[in-house]
Amino acid sequence: MNTPPVSLRMVEVSGAEALWLLEGSAQGRLVYTQREVTVVRPGRHVWELGRLVVRTPAPAAAVPATAAYHVDEFRGATGTGWSVTVAGPTDVITDPDEAAHYRRTLVGWSHGPHDTVLRLHPQTVSGFRHSRAEP
């Protein structure tokens, strides 16, 4: 017995709703270009004072001046969920006390040369809800 495929639709959400979805999650992916190759690194994040603070296993020297951060949550059985992408200038947090604070609060990667805490200043925010299409 075959079931017909379910039609899905993608609806753009407002910037405020996209940021609300982003704030409610904890994991995502930092996306940037390095030597003409797209690099994707996992990350943990927190939204503070209009900026996104991200802890990621990437060398600080490799993090470019601008990057994107992508977060999504999908339910595999239904294919429904949401996705949000923010992009803008980045700066590596070099203050040792501030970086230590975020390393304690953003659990994830081990200390080392590829454990970077950075701040992303969003200039563009886009988000989509993925849901079943109404017949």
Q: Nearest Cα to 79, choosing from 128, 29, 41, 28? A: 128
* Per-residue pLDDT tens digits of the chain, which is 135 residues long: 555 566 778 899 998 999 999 999 989 999 999 889 999 999 999 998 889 999 999 888 888 899 999 999 988 777 789 999 999 999 999 999 999 899 888 887 666 667 899 999 999 999 999 888 766
What's the predicted TM-score (pTM) here?
A: 0.86
What are the sequence ranges of the domains in the chain? Answer: 9-129
For residue 43, give both structure tokens.
């990350």
pLDDT for position 3: 59
pLDDT for position 4: 57
pLDDT for position 111: 61
Place of tokens 């930092």: 30
Cβ 54 vs Cβ 109: under 8 Å: no
Q: Which CATH architecture has domain 9-129?
A: Roll (2.30)
Cβ 18 vs Cβ 84: under 8 Å: yes
Phi-psi region of 88 (alpha: psi -120 to 50; beta: other; left: phi over 0): left
pLDDT for position 39: 92
Q: Are strands 66-75 and 51-56 parallel, antiparallel or unpaired?
A: unpaired
